[in-house]
A and B are shown apart, each in its own frame.
Chain A
Amino acid sequence: MKRIYSVILYLLLSVMFISNPLHCKETEQSLQNEAGFMTIEPITFYFHYGDHFSRLLLKSSEARIWYSFHTADKNSLEKPLFVFFNGGPGSATCSGLMSMYTSEFTLDNKIETGGGDIFIPNPYSWTQLGNLLYIDAREAGFSYNLMSQDKNIQDEGLRFREFNAQNFNPFFDAADFIRVLLRFLASHPELRKNPVVIVGESYGGIRTICMHHLLLNYTEYGNGAQMYQDEALVDEIQAHFDDVFPDYQGQIVPPEVITEQFGHQILIQPAISYGYQTQITNNLILQPGGLIDQLEQQTGIPYDPNIHEDPLYYVRDVADRDYYIYTKPAGWLNGFFSNAARLLHYRQNLTLMTGMDVTAIPQLYASARTQAYRVIRTDYPYNILPALASLTPLIKLHFIEPAIQEANEANQEPGDMDTVFGILQPWDRYYMSSNGNANWAFHVYNVAIVRGYEVTIYESLLGRMFLQNVAHTHTFSTNAALDLVVYSAAIPPSLARHDDIVESAQHIKHPMNGEDRPGYILLNYHHSAFPNIQNLDTRTIRFPLYSSSCHAVSLTQPEELLNDVSAWLSEKGINLAGKGEAKK
């Protein structure tokens, strides 16, 4: 019955897609929607602290990274390219941002009135602003890794050791995304020199930080100056810059030039300086009169840190609230992710969402993925219960527990993928909304962490890198009022904690230019914070308030977000109109 319903729905939506002028792409443009996999060959990289021969030298596994490209509604050749990704780490973009009011079709956000379980045309599609590129991280969504041919894929121990630092750490993860992006641009020369706007949500904030830092300071990632060293990436970036900035052919391209292409970042409820963010969040929500106080009054049950490892456990387990949006019942947002993931397991839905016939993608077929793996254990997620005890409650709550749930659900994949593409091996999956094994590899099974490298999501290094990036780039960050996972009020003070770089990080709440949704973060830098950056004084981050938004701002306030992004980009010099098209 469900399948019949889906087929009817697909046909209806397809007709709408073709007939709706909003989503009908102009015929003169040469670009078309496309989706598929970008192969990332095994990469050798290393971490070091200056000791060359005792560096941690690692070699990744081959990966097939899923991407879905959507052309702009008009004048796509002149429009910027928006690169979208969710976080986790290990979470998919297809069932995240791509399914939540950014592409041509979206989940209906009216879940309380029967929505949330169907893809509908999106009146707030970002294709109005530009071209969109959605990327699923390694082992998340549709992306999958391949074990080398000389290894026995059936060996569970070998699969276990695949989930480690050589494939999962913030820097290599960001390098993956840069590789996919640059290769996509290389294969689309019409877009190669267009501005690129990076859009990251949640952990995607950290990925954005690492991507920008890798791009803006790329030579330092090959000359020993940075902890992470990836010479192949540096070569690939240089080759791209040689083409985009011919005046600098073969030379080191300075950041102020690089930002002509990679100069804008949009962060949706981002993890930035997450170590400080979590400390400050707890202080704020636990203070007298704070959120926990309010919930205690409503439930009549006091919060006890000896019982509830983290305040957010109390929010979920006692107050039965969703920590991604505390005005909603527990599990509200994850319901959307689950629904999107389930829907994407159907060929027709995937074809609808990507805008191309996905049966033409050879790497989706079971026959093309004999060495593919997605999980360690075939029956149940790897037994990490002992390891769980060593994790912070926050990581367990936000990352591990949802990932376990997802991994369990993924054991019985819904949809018609088996029928269309063939039956996968037991350790493979077509789609995983959140891959717990990948997530644990970032947090637990990670030799780079064990060896003391700064690769956890709590490193203050990430905050320093962000502040360095902001000195060069235009930055937009959402301020969702109801999200407790990335508690927006904690972002400005967490940046102020880097007092060796900034004198202050001031949250300006009043309108400065008559905005509907005011909000800025004013950063006052120490003049000598970064010796290579001259005349550094102040920088402003656009920080608009979304008063009814959850963690996934594009889901709860899609129209407002689109309008704010559009206005901000126009103000920051991005041409959203194209030739002959009036600015919005």
Chain B
Amino acid sequence: MKIANIKNKSHGFINRLMGLFLLLFLTMNPRAVWADNSNDVEIIRRKKFQIELYGGYTTFNPSDLNLFISYDNGIQTFSYDTYLDYLQINNQIQSWTKTQDKERQMIKKAFPFGARLKYHLNQTIAVSLGFTYLTSRNGSDIELQYTRNELSNEQYVEELVYSPYLLSAKAYVPSLGIHIMKEIKNTVTVEGYLTGGPMFIECHYMSDWSYEWWMQGTDYTWLTFQSSGTLEEKGSGTGIALDVGGRLVYPLFKSLGIFLEAGYAYQVAKNISGGGREVKDDSTESWEGRWGIKRETISAPWGDLVLDLPANYWPNNSNAEKLRDFELDLSGLQLRLGLSFRF
């Protein structure tokens, strides 16, 4: 619940900021502040530097990172739903039911913001040095309850709580760029840009979990087994970011403009490693490792299952197979709104 509030607050602030920019953008009459005085235009044109601040919204699908969700959902279904079906079909239990509060959520959007320093080589070309920060985080509290009705009319209740269940990614992108601009009627500037640079990323998976098994009858309820723990894996690494797009700039005041830009950002990191830890009751294990995609083949009496998952844990005692390196792909369309100040 705490995480959800933080996320909503952050989301709300950015929305309000973008709303404000949009309102200014739509209501300002650029002629009133710029074009009426051609001398001012010239003065501004002689100013070579421009600083820009922006925030925005992007959608993407970091599919390797989101494998955590499909893996955890797959394991849960196999270990509980499929297994209980198997018991029921084989007349080992009467029936079973399941309740679940909330689902695991994949990461699919982020809010990039950053700053850029531009140097205008002439009226149509500028180069820039910029920095963008992008963060995406999805946390939730998940509660599950599986109840099986035993042949004895007892109930076995298994409760699983994941609080929080968290997946996040961050990217820091310093970039160099080139911008080609064209003024339209001395007011609006149309600009195309290409920026690129290294990308420094962080990704994080954490699951704080607890498990309880209760035996229930008509006049008793026994907590028969309980366990809790944390599984956490962190990664950091580098990649490449390229951003291509276009934008419109409207002057607000003599040196101040507002811009709206849209583009496609290619942002992929492949060389990722980091630490992890698993806490189980009073046992703790921690490790360091390179992230990769692991294939687990699960064979139980009630069936087989093959699942891929991201991991930086490569123990000797695992029969899991490493398929390939992990890739954090934060590429996607980005929409940004910002202010520019020329000096």
- Name A residues whose Cβ lies closer than 8 Å to a Cβ of B: 44, 49-54, 57, 59, 157, 160-161, 164-165, 222-225, 229, 231, 383, 386-390, 445, 447, 450-452, 454
Contacts and interface: CB of A to CB of B under 8 A. Distances in A.
Contacts of B79: 51, 54, 451-452
Interface of B: 75, 79, 83, 150-154, 156, 158, 213, 215, 217, 220, 222-226, 231, 278, 280-283, 296-302, 307, 313, 315-320
B317 A222 contact: yes
B319 A224 contact: yes
Contact of A59 (B231, B282, B315): B282
A390 B150 contact: yes
Contacts of A224: 315, 317-320
A383 B218 CA distance: 13
Given A161-B224, A224-B318, A447-B225, A390 B313 contact: no
Given A59-B281, A386-B217, A164 B154 contact: no
Contacts of B278: 53
Contacts of B215: 386-387, 445
Contacts of B226: 161
Contacts, number: 88
A44 B229 CA distance: 15
A51 to B, nearest CB: 5
A49 B224 contact: no
Contacts of B298: 49-51
A168 to B, nearest CB: 12
Nearest to A49: B300
B205 to A, nearest CB: 10
A451 B212 CA distance: 12
B104 to A, nearest CB: 14
A389 B154 contact: yes
Contacts of B223: 157, 161
Given A50-B297, A54-B75, A54-B79, A390 B225 contact: no
Given A161-B223, A389-B151, A445-B225, 14 more contacts: A50-B297, A50-B299, A52-B318, A53-B278, A54-B75, A59-B282, A224-B320, A231-B317, A386-B153, A386-B217, A387-B215, A389-B154, A447-B213, A452-B302
B316 to A, nearest CB: 7
Contacts of B224: 160-161, 164, 445, 447
B154 A387 contact: yes
A388 B154 CA distance: 10
28 contacts: A50-B296, A50-B319, A51-B298, A53-B278, A53-B313, A57-B280, A59-B283, A157-B223, A160-B222, A161-B224, A165-B225, A223-B317, A224-B318, A224-B319, A224-B320, A229-B317, A231-B317, A383-B220, A389-B154, A390-B151, A445-B224, A445-B225, A447-B213, A447-B224, A450-B156, A450-B225, A451-B79, A452-B79
Nearest to A447: B225
Nearest to A48: B298
A225 B217 CA distance: 38
A161 B226 CA distance: 8
A49, A161, A388, most chain B CB atoms within 10 A: A49
Contacts of A49: 298-300
A278 to B, nearest CB: 16
A167 B297 CA distance: 28
B266 to A, nearest CB: 32
Given A161-B226, A386-B152, A53 B315 contact: no
Nearest to A390: B152
Nearest to A219: B317
B320 A452 contact: no
Given A383-B220, A447-B225, A52 B152 contact: no
Contacts of A229: 317
A52 B151 contact: no
B305 to A, nearest CB: 8
Nearest to A222: B317
- The binding surface of chain A is classed by DSSP as loop
B301 A386 contact: no
A565 to B, nearest CB: 37
Given A59-B282, A224-B318, A386 B154 contact: yes
Contacts of B220: 383, 386
B301 A454 contact: yes
A450 B158 contact: yes
Contacts of B153: 386, 389
A53 B299 contact: no
Contacts of B315: 52, 224
A229 B150 CA distance: 29
B307 to A, nearest CB: 8
Contacts of B217: 386
A389 B153 CA distance: 8
Nearest to B217: A386
A388 B226 CA distance: 22
A514 B316 CA distance: 52
A161 B319 contact: no
Given A389-B153, A390-B150, A52 B320 contact: yes
A445 B151 CA distance: 16
Contacts of B281: 59
B320 A450 contact: no
Contacts of B307: 51
B152 A387 contact: yes
Contacts of A54: 75, 79
Contacts of B301: 452, 454
Contacts of A59: 281-283
Closest 7 CB pairs of A and B: A389-B152, A390-B152, A50-B298, A447-B225, A49-B300, A386-B217, A224-B317
A451 B300 CA distance: 11
Contacts of A53: 231, 278, 313
Contacts of A57: 280, 283
Contacts of B213: 447, 450
B24 to A, nearest CB: 50
A53, A54, A161, A223, most chain B CB atoms within 10 A: A53
Nearest to B320: A52
Given A44-B283, A161-B224, A452 B83 contact: yes
Nearest to A454: B301
Contact of B225 (A50, A161, A222, A383): A161
A387 B156 CA distance: 11
A441 to B, nearest CB: 10
A223 B319 CA distance: 7
Contacts of B297: 50
Nearest to A448: B225
B20 to A, nearest CB: 45
B320 A223 contact: no
B158 A452 contact: no
A451 B152 CA distance: 18
Nearest to B151: A390
A142 B260 CA distance: 81
Contacts of B75: 51, 54
B321 to A, nearest CB: 11
Contacts of A445: 215, 224-225
Contacts of A165: 225
A439 to B, nearest CB: 16
A164 B224 CA distance: 8
A50, A157, A447, most chain B CB atoms within 10 A: A50
Nearest to B211: A447
A51, A57, A164, A165, most chain B CB atoms within 10 A: A51
A215 to B, nearest CB: 18
A231 B320 CA distance: 17
B324 to A, nearest CB: 18
Contacts of A157: 223
A152 to B, nearest CB: 15
Nearest to A460: B301
A452 B300 contact: yes
B154 A52 contact: no
Contacts of A164: 224-225
